[in-house]
Amino acid sequence: MAGYDSVKGFRDSLPLAAGVATYGLVYGLAAREAGFTPGEAVAMSLAVYAGAAQFAAVGMWATAPGLSIVLTTLIINLRHLLMGASIAPYLARVGPGWKALLALGMSDESYGLAIAGYSSGRGSHLYFLGVNLGIYLSWAASSLAGAALGTALRDPTALGLGLVFPLAFLGLAVPRLRNSASLLVFVGSGLLSILGGELLPGKWYIILAGLGASLSGAILEGLWTSRSS
Amino acid sequence: MDKSLVIAGMAIVTYLTRYSMMALFSGDKFSRDIPPFVRRWLDHVPTAIFAALVFPAVLAPDGRVSAGPYLWSALGALPVAWKTKSALSTIVAGVAVFWALKLA
């Protein structure tokens, strides 16, 4: 089976990049309101490149000390640890420079597409690079546009664009539901994330559900296999 | 504190979360002898993360659990996701249901 290349990756990233752009616009507006110049707003997008953390940062900017903003960023982005660990085995054969580069551009969206490619047997580091690039460029350009446009823009989520991400992740998740264990992980994680969202601050619910459901799935599968053999 | 200093700090901690596990779990030796349990666990991680990004967004878009247009759109898109296995088709189907509900 032929592998996917970076052009294919870039193309596959476009529908998600469109969704990212709506959030980038809103981030740019929020940054502007928090006293950032368009240059500063896009500098943060290029250097940090983490939507939720950037929203939190500009929201905290006026009142919170710098150290607490950095710590909040770290906590919001702890979910990358799980994503990095799960995609790492596919990168065993690429050099350290490639890993450093791919880590730079790994987002929720590009991770989703890249791991789906690897799971289907056609992923590659070039494909991963292509999807990273599409999402990264979209985030940077839309941040700049949002900050430049200022308050002339209306809320894009009213157009149903807030649905783009959940629908994309639904489309990426469904092909992974191959057996009862994976179905259990999906539903279990979904319920845990709702519960966690009620009880925990920020994005902790993703870490709770991601870790809790995946470990439970692995344990249950282990029990089933040892019983049937 | 200086803006650029805080942004640099944010960039560094974010990069560490992205790179550390990727480097740690992809050593040639490690990936050859990943224990079966760890392999099963890592295989379930994407599924769990995707679910955590879908469920709250469609079941509790405003922070409170409620059955609204986002839920109906996702349920309408589910068979399309199943049939096509394509993220793009799923997005198109779900947004179409959203607009159909809005205009109805």
The pLDDT of residue A156 is above 60 = no
For helices A6-33 and A108-119, the axis angle rounded to 10 degrees is 160
Exposed/middle/buried for A228, CB within 10 Å: 0-12, 13-18, 19+?
Answer: exposed
CA-CA distance, B11 to A69, in Å (whole number)? 11
pTM of the model: 0.77
Rounded distance between C-alpha atoms, residue A16 and residue A178, angstroms: 24
Of A104, A112, A191, the CB nearest to B15: A104
Q: What's residue A1's pLDDT?
A: 47
pLDDT digits (tens, 9 = 90+) for A70-90: 988 888 888 899 899 999 999
Cα–Cα distance for residue pair A27/B23, rounded to 1 Å: 31
- Are the beta carbons of B60 and A164 separated by less than 8 Å? no
Give, as one character, the DSSP assignment of residue B26: T
Q: What are the chain A neighbours of B86 within 8 Å (beta carbons)? A: 171
Would you give per-residue pLDDT tens digits along chain B (104 residues)? 588 999 999 999 999 999 999 988 887 666 667 788 888 888 898 899 889 989 999 999 888 899 999 999 999 999 999 999 887 889 889 999 999 998 88
- Closest to A169 (Cβ–Cβ): which among B8, B30, B53? B53
Interface confidence (ipTM) of the complex: 0.86
Inspect the interface and report whether the beta carbons of B21 and A91 lie closer than 8 Å: no
State the average pLDDT over residues A6-29.
90
